[in-house]
A and B are shown apart, each in its own frame.
Chain A
């Protein structure tokens, strides 16, 4: 199956190591992309071994573009769109999935950082390209571009152009123009070949020359928030245009500030979990950890055709999480205000049905279907209520899997009802989920005495 790819050129040019600060920054920028790719179901493909070993004749900047299709095919990668992101780029952990914004065109960002450098570079290569009038306002940075299979022919043509004129290009690059490597020739090639460019994506995805834009600054007039603007508002931080020997230090300092957000253990589900509130800020929902545990337990694809009933949906935060796992989510709630909020919080989810019912007075068969596979119980917290929810679930749904929230909620009536069913053999504990009592941060300060939740099977 085709997958979107991040193509990450990071070839160490040992002879240039001094100039590039020993490439120590690779460690951090790589981790950022690995996380982002996992989070967005994108394939991360580092390009670390050159195709050609002579790195003066074949500069890494040239190799990253002219060999991209050859390498992806050699590696047997079934690519869809390809995001070429230089190793000096660090992606923000929660940057949107850019592949959804491209219109499947060749995406670039007009480079207006040092317009004189660009102008001079364009003029320098003009005669090589037979006087072609290049539009500087369509000139893109070659270190942040997105393309796909329809651009293979034009990129392969660019490779041929380089191979056929390699000595001339090296002379222009090193002795005559001395303004970049592949970038300006690539721009000529794209424009000469009338490649349709999408130049309209937000600049947040290409924050080059951040010092020039004052993006390393923060709101120095207003109190405590010293978070630099580029971190707050940018998506793809490109550490270029700065002295190259300072790059590693700057990137490490950035990583020290934000690295904790790139947790590979949770990357697969973080995007879903960022869509909703958790117990640390909203007392009426579950913790992030409990939701993560449910995603890990049920998000393996086996439940994508199954139905879950959520008993006590409250404002629909966990409902939203469940809608990413199950085919059908039936969310039961009694309170009108909660129902309104739950609707609003799930307005874009197409597999959620809300049911207003009084769980302890209405007949379940009047409101809920029989063919339910999993039931998530998080309604009344008194002993008799939990007991009724369990018994009614058995009665209506047969032998569903049970997920319980608030197992360790004081004074202990939820736990009492569950434990009783376990002790008599109606339920078998599969695993405890969510936070341990000592780790649970509750928005209203409630202290739990046992685990936050538990998954049980019917015997």
Chain B
């Protein structure tokens, strides 16, 4: 039997975040429809004081192997996403490469992050900002196992610096590091269409009661949203109900 594709999501500390259940349910639907398997990380691998939970996704291959899960390609997706029930099977569009979606939300955030990490960690390295991918939707496969080890190694070699920078500058946990590392290790990447990771939707003016975003793409990423603690749960609930309420199981 051929190995399955996997959708992997971090679902730790979800007790107070019922909106993540909408995300999980939508991805369950996708998996069922596309013969994939949903794998949730519901317990951290290492102490979260030691490593932020987001960075722990780079233990992916260890986790899969520890759980004896055979795998083909794996989508690592953020829990603040909802996938459209008709989303095409993007695993067929990867050419077996490391796939991301370009992040064009706030270049202030992106470029500050790039400049800070260039100054303090990747001092001789730089890459074009138009190649920068969002970390909330990454498709990988067995070829990338050693690269994930490099990510973990880099983290522990520079743990204090990374934590300090992340806290001081507010430039995310893993995303900019991931982009520098992809460049450093010359990993072949493919940038998929915005349809597959629709970040910062308010800037595109497509969020609204008419659910215009649902006509323009497949994976809705509820980030870059003002007053997020109030609005994200609301928007995810509305989106899920709009897309899935009338569907059969």
Contacts and interface: CB of A to CB of B under 8 A. Distances in A.
Interface of A: 112-117, 119, 136-137, 202-204, 212-215, 217, 219-222, 229, 232-233
Contact of A214 (B106, B195, B215): B106
A59 B106 CA distance: 34
B119 interface: yes
B212 A219 contact: no
A218 B137 CA distance: 27
B231 interface: no
B108 A217 contact: yes
Contacts of A221: 112, 116, 169
Contacts of B216: 115, 119, 136
B205 A229 contact: no
24 contacts: A113-B204, A114-B205, A115-B204, A115-B206, A115-B212, A116-B212, A119-B206, A119-B215, A202-B130, A212-B203, A213-B106, A214-B106, A214-B107, A214-B108, A215-B107, A215-B108, A217-B108, A219-B111, A219-B112, A219-B116, A221-B169, A222-B115, A222-B119, A233-B129
Contacts of A114: 204-205
B200 to A, nearest CB: 10
B14 to A, nearest CB: 31
Nearest to A225: B115
Contacts of B129: 204, 233
A68 to B, nearest CB: 28
Interface in B120-172: 128-130, 169
A229 B107 contact: yes
Contact of A116 (B106, B109, B111, B204): B204
Contacts of A136: 216
Interface of B is mostly: helix
B206 to A, nearest CB: 5
A137 B193 contact: yes
Contact of B116 (A116, A222, A233): A222
Nearest first, the 7 A-B pairs at minimum CB distance are A214-B108, A217-B108, A116-B205, A115-B204, A214-B106, A202-B130, A203-B130
Size category, B interface? 20 to 34
Nearest to B201: A115
Count chain A CB atoms within 10 A of each CB in B107, B108, B193 and give the residue with the most. Answer: B107
Interface of A is mostly: loop
Contacts of B205: 114-117
A219 B115 contact: yes
Contacts of B193: 137
A220 B171 CA distance: 13
A136 B198 CA distance: 14
B194 interface: yes
Contacts of B215: 119
A396 B107 CA distance: 60
B212 A119 contact: yes
Interface of B: 104, 106-109, 111-112, 115-116, 119, 128-130, 169, 193-195, 203-206, 208, 212, 215-216
Contacts of B169: 221
A7 to B, nearest CB: 25
A114 B203 CA distance: 7
B26 to A, nearest CB: 21
Given A214-B109, A222-B112, A232-B111, 15 more contacts: A114-B205, A115-B205, A116-B204, A116-B212, A119-B212, A119-B216, A136-B216, A137-B194, A219-B111, A219-B112, A221-B112, A221-B169, A222-B115, A222-B116, A229-B108
A138 to B, nearest CB: 10
Contacts of A117: 205
Contacts of A212: 203
Nearest to B215: A119
Contacts of A214: 106-109
Contacts of B115: 219, 222
Contacts of A203: 104, 130
Nearest to A120: B212
Given A119-B215, A119-B216, A222-B116, A213 B104 contact: yes
Contacts of A112: 104, 194, 204
Contacts of B104: 112, 203, 213
Nearest to B170: A221
A217 B109 CA distance: 10
Contacts of A232: 111
Nearest to A110: B194
B249 to A, nearest CB: 31
Given A119-B215, A119-B216, A233 B111 contact: yes
A340 B103 CA distance: 40
A214 B203 CA distance: 10
A202 B128 contact: yes
Contacts of A229: 107-108, 111
A217 B215 CA distance: 32
A202 to B, nearest CB: 5
A229 B107 CA distance: 8
Contacts of B107: 213-215, 217, 229
Count chain A CB atoms within 10 A of each CB in B129, B169, B208 and give the residue with the most. Answer: B129
